Amino acid sequence: MAYFHEYDWIFAIGLLFAALDAFNIGANDVANSFATSVSSRSLTMRQAIVLAAICEFLGAVLVGAKVAGTIKNGIISLKVFQGNAGVEMLAFTCALVASATWLMIATKKSWPVSTTYSIVSALAGVGVALDGPSAVQWGWNNGKGLATIFAGFGIAPAISAGFGAIVYLITKYAVLERKNSVKAGLMISPFYFFTVVAVLTMSIVYKGSPSLKLDKLPKTTIALAIVLTALVVAILSMIFWLPYVYCKVVRKDSSIRWYHFFFGPLLWKRPVPAQDETKAHVVDYRVHGRDDGHVAGTDVFAETAAAAPSPVQTKGSDIEAEADLEGKEHRTEPSSPTLRPTAEVPLAELEDDSRKIIGAWYLPRNLWVLVRYQIPKVILYGSSIDIHKAQMGNAQESDRIHEMHTRAQQYDNETEHLYSFLQVLTACTNSFAHGSNDTANAVGPFAAIYYIWSTSSVTPANTPTPTWILAFGAAMLVIGLATYGYKIMVSLGNRLTMHSPSRGFSMELGSAITVLLASQYGIPVSTTMCITGATAGVGLVSGGPKAINWRAFGYIVLGWVLTVPVAGTAAGCLMGMLLNAPHW
């Protein structure tokens, strides 16, 4: 290889900011995708991180875009580089610097923005700096021009809101509002599995696996593959899933474990063992507010029919019992008054000084404490934070959000449990498609930088992307979700509107349908905007306009709008300064 050693410094900067861009895609985009699953308690934060890591990594490495267009979405033309490989290399590096910096700022501010629009806007800014406004495709350009960005602001949320609302209304009146909602849910579940798998299979075929070219197969073959895949999964759900959830929600068997799922029909005859009354047979999916003392995580729902007519009531006497039932840390009084925890000194610190830094940090003992306790605590903070508590905010915010939640009806835990499986299935498939498709937002420009650096020549129309670059991008994406994704999850979920498995499932399926149809008709949409629009649509039909936090939605839209001028102007100014700086 004829390496371009003259510009090693550009390659190094491009590598660093490609890593940062991928990191922020994981923290912003992937966290945005899994926020509904975590907010509805279908997944814990750590479960979401593990599943996202698997799905995103496999999607990127196995069926990711092996050929990444050197110019994303046709925004600028290769002609603007005039055959100068060094200028082209600098252009993509400036675009990555601007995009990654803006995404880091947005993630820090908990703004869910479009990572695709960020890099596209940055490339447009670079094009203007190189050859003026004429270098940029400002019009529609067959769905690839800059005008499509602005059109997407309205198209994506509106269509997703409609589909999300339709899915939830069907679920609400076909299952949730029925007298025996559990029975109705079990009976209709094979139809749900068939529909969901059909939509997700189409998503994989048309959007999630560009390198396999599955969408180029004969239409009859594609249709048969979609129908047969959905039919097989629906049949398997009746054989394995139905008896498993029947034991959990109807027999209320708290002893059943995840591996019992594979017992299938044998579970119909499984004797119900003696139940441990301290263990819940299903997760408590209800959204809890705060008590009069603004203590997060307490139960605010009355269990008796004699309670007031409001759908959400305060029940202070069962706080500790409910926390124990949910598997949370039981609040007990310490045996010694000297060990009583206070706001100033946590109990754990009073009990164990061995984890504290005492004296100079570079002492051998303190270095061991740093490596063994402090550094892992910082690294794992993002996977251990209580998202539900953080979404409620401070006391004033909590009261406002709690008032918003009272507008929406909450349903039976057993029925909601049925939809947690479908929600996780939808989230994982969307994550796989995201990894195979959107990882190119970071690795696409870097693939061009690597090609130029390793060959000392300008890129062709399509730049081959080595597998190691896809793996590198996927790894940084997963690290971003695990360490910093909580920033976005806190601003979404129950802070926008009340979440539950049935609602979250409707949001994710509505978003997936929108992305699928948009890809077929060439309509530019962002997955971030789709899930946000679906969240608003479900919230509207769930509890009306007052069941939505419009202020929070306003900040999210502001982040979308700011992405285009900020990323574009930053990249253009940076490119202009470096290109015209004094040199020798």
3-state secondary structure at position 1: coil
Based on the fold, state whether residues 147 and 43 are members of the same structural domain. Answer: yes
> 61 and 16, same structural domain?
yes
| E runs forming strands in 16-150 | 67-69
Contact present, 548 and 400 (Cβ < 8 Å): no
Say if residue 357 is in the same domain as residue 493. no
Q: What is the structure's pLDDT at 297? A: 34
Claim to verify: residue 461 and residue 369 sit in the same structural domain: no
Structural domain range at position 365: 346-383
Q: Which two tokens stand for residue 58?
A: 């496999």
Is residue 267 classed as helix, strand or coil in its secondary structure?
A: helix
Please report the pLDDT score of residue 325 as a whole number.
38
Q: Counting beta carbons within 10 angstroms of the beta carbon of residue 37, is it exposed (0 to 12), middle (13 to 18) or buried (19 or more)?
A: buried
Phi/psi zone of residue 493: left (φ > 0), alpha (ψ -120 to 50 degrees), beta? left
Q: How far apart are CA 412 and CA 177, in angstroms?
A: 10
Q: Are 58 and 178 members of one domain?
A: yes
Q: What is the pLDDT of residue 131?
A: 84
Q: Do 377 and 416 fall within a single domain?
A: no
8-state DSSP, 406? T
Pairwise CA distance, residues 584 & 412, whole Å? 73
Cα radius of gyration rounded to whole Å, the chain: 26
At residue 68, what are phi and psi to the nearest 5 degrees?
Answer: -105, 125
How are the residues of the chain apportioned to helix, strand and coil, as percentages rounded to the nearest 5? 70, 0, 30
Looking at the fold, whether 365 and 467 belong to one and the same domain comes out as no
Q: CA 157, 407, 391: angle at the middle one, nearest 5?
A: 65
Tell me how far apart the alpha carbons of residues 52 and 430 are, in angstroms, rounded to a whole number: 10
What is the residue type of 213? K
pLDDT, tens only, 62-77: 766 655 554 544 667 7
For residue 18, give the nearest of 371, 477, 397, 369 by alpha carbon.
Answer: 477
Q: How far apart are CA 366 and CA 563, in angstroms?
A: 43
Q: Residue 353 burial by CB count (10 A; 0-12/13-18/19+): exposed, middle or buried?
A: exposed
Q: Is 324 exposed, middle or buried (0-12, 13-18, 19+ CB in 10 A)?
A: middle
Domain membership of residue 93 (yes or no) is yes
Nearest to 325 by CA among 289, 295, 281, 287: 281
Cβ pair 478, 23 in contact under 8 A: no
Cα–Cα distance measured from residue 104 to residue 111, given in angstroms and rounded to the nearest whole number: 10
Q: Which residues pair with 464 in a beta bridge?
A: 67
Q: HSE on the CB side for 307, CA within 13 Å?
A: 13
Q: Do residues 486 and 372 both lie within one domain?
A: no
Distances (CA, A) of 42 to 216, 261, 262, 425, 487: 36, 17, 20, 11, 19
pLDDT score for 228 = 96
Q: What is the total count of domains within the chain? A: 2
Determine, yes or no, domain membership for 111.
yes
**Is residue 116 in a domain?**
yes
Residue 311 lies in a domain: no
Sign of CA dihedral 141, 144, 149, 153: positive
568 in a domain, yes or no?
Answer: yes
In a shared domain, residues 86 and 129: yes
Enumerate the β-bridge partners of residue 290. 296
Tell which of 337, 366, 383 closes a domain.
383
Does residue 522 sit within a domain? yes
CA-wise closest residue to 284 among 376, 134, 416: 416
CA distance 65 to 470: 8
- Report helix angle 467-484 to 45-63, nearest 10: 170
- Tokens 């189409």 correspond to 202
pLDDT in tens, 499-545: 999 999 999 999 888 888 877 766 667 788 888 899 999 999 999 99
Query: Has residue 213 been placed in a domain?
Result: no
Residue count (the chain): 584
Given this model, what pLDDT does residue 217 score?
84
| DSSP codes joined into one string, 439-481 | THHHHHHHHHHHHHHHHSS---SEEE--HHHHHHHHHHHHHHH
The answer, as to whether pTM is greater than 0.75, is: yes
Low-confidence ranges of the chain (pLDDT < 70): 1-2, 63-75, 141-145, 207-212, 288-353, 521-524, 583-584
Residues 491 and 367 in one domain: no
Residue 122 in tokens: 């940055």
Q: What pLDDT is attached to residue 308? A: 37
Residues 411, 413, 417, 420: what is their CA dihedral angle, to the nearest 10 degrees? Answer: 60
Q: Report the alpha-carbon distance of residue 115 to residue 442 in Å, rounded.
A: 9
Assigned domain for 341 exists: no
For 495, other C-beta atoms within 10 Å of its C-beta total 22
Backbone angles phi, psi at 113, to 5 degrees: -115, 170
Q: Are residues 492 and 575 in the same domain?
A: yes
Q: Given its phi and psi angles, is residue 162 left (phi above 0), alpha (psi -120 to 50 degrees) or beta? A: alpha
pLDDT at 196: 92
- One domain for residues 51 and 162: yes
Nearest CA among 369, 388, 380 for reference residue 326: 388
What pLDDT score was predicted for residue 10? Answer: 92
pLDDT at 335: 39
